[in-house]
Amino acid sequence: MSGRNDHLADGDMPLIDDIDLSAYLDGEARPGDRRRIADAIESAPGFARKAQLLRNADAKARQYGDALLASAPPARLCVRRMVAERRAKRTRRLVAAGVVLTIAFLSFVGGWIGHGLFHQQTFIARSFVEDAAAAHTVFSVETRHPVEVTALESGHLTAWLSKRLNIPVTQADLSGAGFKFIGGRLLSSRSGAPAAMLMYQDAEGIRATLYLARNRGAEPSSFRFFSSSEGRTESVYWFDRDISYGLTGAYNRETLLKLAKGVLKAMDGA
Amino acid sequence: MSDFLTDVEAAIPGLRRYALALTRDADAADDLVQDCLERALTRRRLWRPTGTVKSWLFTILHNQFISDRRCLNRRAGDLSMDDALQQSAADNPMASVALAETARAIEALSLEQRTTLLLVAVEGLTYAEAATATGVPVGTIMSRLSRARRALADKMEAGPRLARVK
């Protein structure tokens, strides 16, 4: 490139090289060189012929190019299809992300609700067993009127309580465990619904009470234990579909559990 | 945006031609074009209308070819023009002889000269666009181009008289 401007000094015979000519034919010659190149082609037939040869070369190249492209483009080069596939892929990805987000959201909501339900369950169960323990504390110490209806009228008692509580109340026979049935009474409960208490007594005159109510929203459960805040009594309580049971006494858990199983067996038999 | 796609579609024949000239293998050429198109669609938002979509695509294709060749150490295929020649030989035997001459002459050029000639003379890129596409200065484009044309012109002129019977 550097050598070609040397010829400019050559006055009458303007010299141009192949690069000049080639660029001129492409319309890419520098503006300052155009006049000079055009003049050279005009004045020297050799340059014009050369220009024609270069043009022929381009024509040959184009023929070559056309011949190369003998086959139609394969389907995989269809841009519109590529775009559609990309869009479909993106949609699938969005759907997948949406599914993940939805699952995450539902898990969160489920957790939230479950958490609430758990608390609600805990609350229901806790209220019930506290009522049972409180009733025991109040009535088990009574000497003259521990019960409202005595064991002598047990048939009347169970029929009455069954009717008021709207659950089948039976007088469980716990004599096998050394407990004698004394009687029972109707009670109120924290929920405002009626409850019943059946009282038993061992050979030493120590009492155990069975507190019953219609189950209001507690999940059926197996035996659970509760110690009153004073620590004087233990309770075992459980829920079935219809009935809530709370057995309380100043006994250890093994004894209470044995009684609870006796109650359960009697109720199943009912 | 669909203008963009229209421009891309319009450039496909040129891209395939150029890819064939680079790879000299029909499947490899279409692979190259496909990669180029995928890449172009991925970078679609990066395209700025400072140049034409066509020259941008040629730049992507060329870079793809260079990096493929570097990675795979792929050698150019031997496609030459046999398929195309057999097709046109049936129509015009004379033309096919002349075409074979041309093909031989063009394929004898160095890769750099051949690609530059194709980009400018066949695909109609400007010198600046060809320089960007092949990653060399405009001066290099100018010299490669003139040497390619000169070599081709010389071969044509000195070619066998047989092909020139009229």
Residues A135 and A58 grouped into a single domain? no
**What's the CATH number where A192 sits?**
3.30.200.100
| Domain boundary pick from A92, A114, A136 | A114
Q: What is the pLDDT of residues B110-138, one digit of tens each?
A: 889 998 999 999 999 999 999 999 999 99
pLDDT tens-digit map of B19-65: 988 888 888 899 999 999 999 988 887 777 777 889 999 999 999 88
Q: Which chain B residue's Cα is nearest to A80?
A: B5
A contacts of B41 (beta carbons < 8 Å): 79, 82-83, 86
Same domain, A6 and A55: yes
A256 with A126, same domain: the answer is yes
pLDDT, one tens digit per residue, over A38-97 is: 888 888 888 888 888 888 889 988 888 888 887 788 888 888 888 888 889 999 999 999
pLDDT at A270: 57
Domain edges within chain B = 1-78
pLDDT higher than threshold 70 for residue A32: yes
Based on the fold, state whether residues A194 and A232 are members of the same structural domain: yes
A252 and A125 in one domain? yes
Q: In chain A, which residue's Cα lies nearest the Cα of B102? A: A60
**Do A264 and A136 share a structural domain?**
yes
Put simply, whether A93 touches B (Cβ < 8 Å) is: no
Query: If you measure CA to CA, which chain B residue comes closest to A53?
Result: B153
- What's the CATH number for B1-78? 1.10.1740.10
- Is ipTM strictly over 0.85? no
Same domain, A131 and A259: yes
- Three-state secondary structure string covering chain A: CHHHHHHHHCCCCCCCCHHHHHHHHCCCCCHHHHHHHHHHHHHCHHHHHHHHHHHHHHHHHHHHHHHHCCCCCCHHHCHHHHHHHHHHHHHHHHHHHHHHHHHHHHHHHHHHHHHHHHHHHHHHHHHHHHHHHHHHHHHCCCCCCCCCEEHHHHHHHHHHHHHHHCCCCCCCCCHHHCCEEEEEEEECCCCCCCEEEEEEECCCCCEEEEEEEECCCCCCEEEEEEECCCCCCEEEEEECCCEEEEEEECCCHHHHHHHHHHHHHHHHHC
Among A217, A239, A46, A34, CA closest to A123: A217
* pLDDT score for B86: 52
Same domain for A39 and A12: yes
**Which of A19, A79, A81, A82 is the best mutation test for B, with the most CBs of B within 10 A?**
A79
Q: What is the pLDDT of residue B88?
A: 47
Domain, as residue range, for A94: 76-114
CB contact under 8 A, B120 and A54: no
Q: Do A73 and B16 touch (CB under 8 A)?
A: yes
The structural domain count of chain A equals: 3
pLDDT value at residue B77: 52
